[in-house]
Amino acid sequence: MFSMSFNEVRKDYLLDRWVVIATERGRRPTDFAKKVREKAKTSVCPLCPGNEHMTPPAVLVYLKSGKGIRK
- The string over 36-65, giving b where at least 16 C-beta atoms fall within 10 Å of a residue's C-beta and e elsewhere, is eeeeeeeeeeeeeeeeeeeeeeeeeeeeee
Q: What pLDDT tens digit does each residue of the chain (71 aa) get? A: 456 668 889 999 999 999 998 877 777 777 777 777 777 766 788 888 888 888 888 888 887 776 665 55
Predicted model pTM: 0.31
* Domain residue ranges in the chain: 8-33+40-70
